[in-house]
Amino acid sequence: METQGRIAVITGGASGIGRGMANAFAAAGMKLVLADLDDDRLAAAEQELTAAGTEVVTTRCDVSKLEEVEALAQTALDRFGKVHVLCNNAGIGLPTPTHNIKLEDWRWMIDVDLWGPIYGVKTFLPLIESHGEGGHLNSTASMAGLVSSPMMAAYNVAKHGVVALMATLERDLRVRKSVVRASVLCPGPINTNISRNSVQYRPSKAKPKADGAAEGKAGSAIQSMLESGMHPDDVGNLVLDAIQRDSFWVLTHPEMMKLVTRQFGPMLDDGTLTRA
Element (H, E) at 12: none
Is 105 within 8 Å of 96 (Cβ atoms)? yes
Tell me the three state secondary structure of residue 230: strand
Q: How far apart are CA 101 and CA 86, in angstroms?
A: 31
Burial class (CB in 10 A: 0-12, 13-18, 19+), 99: exposed
Specify whether 201 is catalytic.
no
Beta strands in the chain (DSSP E): 7-11, 31-36, 56-60, 85-88, 135-140, 180-186, 249-251
Length of the chain: 276
Tell me the three state secondary structure of residue 19: helix
Chain-centre distance of CA 150, in angstroms? 21
Burial class (CB in 10 A: 0-12, 13-18, 19+), 168: exposed
The one catalytic residue among 155, 186, 197, 250: 155
Catalytic positions, please? 155
